[in-house]
Amino acid sequence: MQRKMKIAFVSQPFDEVLPPNHNSIGILLYEVARRLARSCEVTVYIKGGWFRKKETCEEGVCYQRIPVGIDKILQRLLAIFSRFFNAKRPLYASQFYYRGYIARIGRNLRAQHCDIVHIINFSQFVPVIRAFNPGIKIILHMHCEWLTQLDHSIIERRLGKTDLIIGCSDYITQKIRHNFPRFSGCCETVHNGVDSDHFVRRNDNNTGKGNGAKRLLFVGRVSPEKGVHVLLKAFQRVVQRYPQAHLEIAGPKKQLPFEYLVALSDDAAVTELAAFYGSGSPYGYSYRLRDMLGLLNIANRVTFSGVIPNSQLLSQYRNADVFIFPSVWEEPFGLPPLEAMSVEVPVVATRSGGIVETVENGRTGILVERNNECALAEAILRILSDEDLRQSMGKSGRKRVVEFFSLERMVERLLHLYKNLCAVSIS
C-alpha cells in the first residue's frame, strides 16, 4: 500500500477556522480539510495564543495553532506608519505582515515532510515557506484580486517561487493569466463549493410564512462593496407593491478596510464607495444604513440579524422567497447565492465577477447590472409575482449546485490537481 499524500493548509492569520465561530473562508477550509482527510494526511495551520493547546485533531485533520500575539503587536506599531505606504504596497501585503506566524509554520513544515502546502491569499508567505522547504510543492489559492491589484514586480517574484496558482473563479484566474502571462500555464480554477447535504429544503415545503408576507434575504458582510445600500433603495420600491414584505440582512457589520479594496481599485463603481469611509469607524457603513431606513420609511420592514452561525443559517434560507446579492464590486466568487440555490431559493444578483459563473440568468435567478436599484427592484418583483417561476428557478438552482458546486466536486478537483502536481498515488 502506497503512502497517503500529506497536505498542509496555511489559513489567513485572522481567520476563524474551527466552529462555531468560523468565517466564510474558515468554513470553506474546515469543510474541505475534513473531506480531504478521508484520503490524505491533512494539517491545517491556524492562529492561536500562547496559552492555548497547540494541536487539536478532529475528524482526521490535525489543526496546528500558531501564536500570533507578537505579530499583532508588530502590526499595530507598523500601522502607525501605514499612511506612508504606497497603495500598491500596503502593510498587509508586505514581507513583515505576520512574519512570525509564517516563519513558525515554515519551520514546523520542515519537520512534517509534507508533499504540498496550500496557502490562502497571502503571496508574501510563499518565499518564507520556500526558504524553509526548498523541495515542497507550494499552491497559492486566491479568493480575491490582490495578485492583479498589488505591485506587479513584487507579486511576480513571489509567483516565481509558486508551483500552482488557484483562482476561486474563472474571473480571478483569467485576470492572473492576463497580468502574468509567464505563469499562465500554472494557473487553474477551482470553484468554491457548498455543503449541499446540509443546505436542503424541507421535505414538507413548509417555510413558516404563515402570514403570506414576502420574505427577502441577504447574507454577507455588511460592507459598501456588497451593495446593501443599493438593496435598501430597491426594497423601498418592493414595499410599494408588497407593503408586508420583509427584508432580513444577515452578516457581520464590520466593513472591509479601505486599503483592502477601494484604495486598490480602478473600477469607478468601487472608487465611489470611498464616500462611505469618512467616519473612520469600521462600523460607519452600518450606521449609514440605519439612517437610510428612516429616510426611506422602511425601518419596520428590515431586520439586521448580525452574525448567524453557519449551522443555524439554514432556517433563514428556508424562510426566504428570494435571495438578493447586490454586489457593487466584481465579486470574486460569492458563496451565499449558492447556499440559497441549494435550498431551492431563486437568486437576484448583480452581473459581477464570479457570480456570472454560478447563477444562470433566467434559469436559477436573475442577474442585473451593478449599482442599479431600479433593475434590482424589477427583478425582485418579477420573481415575487410569479410562483411558477420561483418554483422552477429554485429547482434548477438546486440541480446546478449538486452537479457543479458541491464541496465534493471541489475536493475532487483539488485531489486531481494535487496528484498531477506531485505524481503521488493516493491509497
**Closest among 292, 372, 359 to 331, alpha carbons compared:** 359
Which residues have CB under 8 Å from 109's CB, separation 6+? 8, 117, 129, 132, 133, 136
Give me the half-sphere count of Cα atoms (radius 13 Å) on the Cβ side of residue 97. Answer: 17
- Which residue shows C-alpha cell 464607495? 273
C-alpha cell of residue 61: 485533520
Distance from C-alpha of 75 to C-alpha of 98, rounded to nearest angstrom: 8
Residue 72 grid cell: 499583532
Task: Estimate the crossing angle of helix 99-112 against helix 69-79, to 10 degrees.
Answer: 150
Residue type for 33, please? A
Q: Where are the beta strands (DSSP E) in 345-420?
A: 347-350, 365-368
End-to-end CA distance of the chain: 7
Q: Return the C-alpha cell found at 173.
A: 484566474
Alpha carbons 11 and 17: distance in angstroms, whole number:
8
Q: What is the pLDDT of residue 333?
A: 97
Q: Which three cell numbers stand for residue 264?
A: 486598490
Sequence-ordered list of residues with C-beta below 8 angstroms from that of 12, at least 6 positions apart, any chain: 25, 120, 121, 122
Of the candidates 321, 326, 318, 300, which has an alpha carbon nearest to the alpha carbon of residue 244? 300
Name the DSSP class of 382.
Answer: H
SS3 10: strand
Tens of pLDDT along the chain (427 residues) come to: 567 899 999 999 999 999 887 788 999 999 999 999 999 999 999 999 766 668 899 999 999 999 999 999 988 888 787 676 788 999 899 999 999 999 999 999 999 999 999 999 999 999 999 999 999 999 999 999 999 999 999 999 999 999 999 999 999 999 999 999 999 999 999 999 999 999 999 876 544 454 568 999 999 999 999 999 999 999 999 999 999 999 999 999 999 999 999 999 999 999 999 999 988 899 999 999 999 999 999 999 999 999 998 888 999 999 999 999 999 999 999 999 999 999 999 999 999 999 999 999 999 999 999 999 999 999 999 999 999 999 999 999 999 999 999 999 999 999 999 999 987 444 4
CA distance 389 to 404: 22
Please give the distance of CA 398 from its chain centroid, rounded to a whole number.
20
- Cα Rg, the chain, nearest whole Å: 22
pLDDT at site 51: 60
Distances 268 to 280, 331, 371 between C-alpha atoms, Å:
22, 15, 11
Q: Catalogue all structural domains in the chain, each as residue range(s) with its CATH number.
A: 6-193+406-422 (3.40.50.2000), 215-404 (3.40.50.2000)
Query: Which pLDDT does position 85 carry in this prediction?
Result: 73
| H helices present in 223-372, as ranges | 228-241, 268-271, 284-296, 314-318, 335-342, 355-358
Cα 243 from Cα 112, distance rounded (Å): 61
CA atoms within 13 A on the CB side of 181: 1
